[in-house]
Amino acid sequence: MEQKKTSKRLRCIVKLGGAAITCKNKLETIDEENLKEVSSQIRQAFVPESTSANVIGMDWSKRSGQSEVPTFINDLCDQPVADSESFIVVHGAGSFGHFQASKSGVHKGGLSRPLVKAGFVATRISVTSLNLEIVRSLAREGIPSIGMSPFSCGWSTCQRNMTEADISMVIKAIDAGFIPVLHGDAVLDTLQECTILSGDMIIRHLAAELKPEFVVFLTDVLGVYDRPPVEPGAVLIREIAVREDGSWSVVKPKLEDTSKPVEFTVAAHDTTGGMVTKITEAAMIAKLGIDVYITKAGTDHSVKALSGFLKGGIPDDWLGTAIRYMS
């Protein structure tokens, strides 16, 4: 009886990187301006007939500094609703959750320790606060967003690998016309009692099950570099080809020192930015024939990535990293 696919094809999974929507060094602080811009770009990409003028705001809650509810609700009754394409948003934690999780070591497990148990609760409070604010921001743009916590969805891991992750509720939400908004979360683990399930692991699972047309990672830098982007001479990697066995190589630009394996060059970056992990995760998605675009949130490049425009080919003036399957 279990339905395994959405009734219309999933257009996209969008990852909102924590660094793109929160202020990195300020505990639990949203980068309001970026989040608003990202939400607006997402609306333009997936609700093609919408304009900022005909948006049906779906966050009717009080906003801080305002005591009254919106007055536009009475005008809603007869307004036609712009059809949205199907997509899913998954976000990271940024300055939400990381402090609580790292302070308590939730990812290492051990719920019988008071610090871990308290940290598990504290982490979930922090990441669900962020989730609520992202859902509200998307809703204000007229996107029918629905927050769904992996923990509540019943997702769990075994030794930090996803085991139980029933996506039937995600599918039902999409088929009812909603946009699920998931997030990295503290979850139960059958072997070590608890751990952290990252947004990237969630995306890989959803991509494998639902086969979206493409996946977009929005971050705070233009894409993947051959070394930390703050270092002089760092080169943006524009295109990575993934082979059937999951191995990958840089196609563009031609790196000067070809004797030096790219994997090594990028690995040097891993200690600071986890870029090899990021590419490896992306390569696993690309291996399925799903294009992955990594680019900077709130730019012309993210507009192009979200619109699906890049499926036809990567123009020279697009700045970002495209990771694609090459047979």
Pick 196 or 241: Cβ nearer a copy of itself: 196
Q: Is 183 annotated as a binding residue?
A: no
Which is closer to a copy of itself, CB of 60 or CB of 272?
60
- The verdict on whether residue 274 carries a ligand-binding annotation is yes
Burial of residue 3, with CB atoms counted within 10 A of its CB: 0-12 exposed, 13-18 middle, 19 or more buried: exposed
257 by Cβ neighbours in 10 Å (0-12 / 13-18 / 19+) ranks as: exposed
Nearest distance in Å: CB 101, a copy of itself: 10
For 49, other C-beta atoms within 10 Å of its C-beta total 10
Total length of the chain = 327
User: Which long-range CB contacts under 8 A does 245-251 form with residues at least 24 apart?
Assistant: 246/283, 246/284, 246/287, 247/283, 248/279, 248/283, 248/286, 248/323, 251/326
Task: Write the Ramachandran bin of 129: left for phi over 0, alpha for psi from -120 to 50, otherwise beta.
Answer: alpha
Shortest Cβ 192–a copy of itself spacing (Å): 12
User: Considering beta carbons, is residue 31 or 291 the nearer one to a copy of itself?
Assistant: 31
Report, in Å, the least distance between residue 253 CB and a copy of itself: 43
Q: What phi and psi, each to the nearest 5 degrees, are found at residue 158? A: -130, 120
| Residue 93, marked binder | yes
CB within 8 A of 74, min separation 6: which ones?
A: none
Residue with smaller CB distance to a copy of itself, 98 or 269: 98
Q: Which is nearer to a copy of itself, 139 or 197 (CB)?
A: 139
CA distances from residue 167 to 176, 206, 209 in whole angstroms, order as listed: 14, 8, 8
Q: For the CB of residue 9, give the shortest distance to a copy of itself in the complex, in Å.
A: 20
For residue 156, the minimal CB distance to a copy of itself (Å) is 8
* CA count, 13 A, side-chain hemisphere, 48: 6
Nearer to a copy of itself, 102 or 272 (CB): 102
Q: Which residues bind a copy of itself (CB under 8 A)?
A: 27-28, 56-62, 67, 69, 73, 76-77, 79-81, 99-100, 103-104, 111-112, 114-115, 117-122, 124-126, 128-129, 132, 135-136, 139, 144-149, 151-154, 156, 166, 168-169, 172-173, 176-178, 188, 193-194
**Binding-site annotation: residue ranges:** 93-94, 98, 199, 220, 274, 278
**Binding-site annotation: residue ranges for ATP:** 94, 220, 274, 278
**Binding-site annotation: residue ranges for substrate:** 93, 98, 199
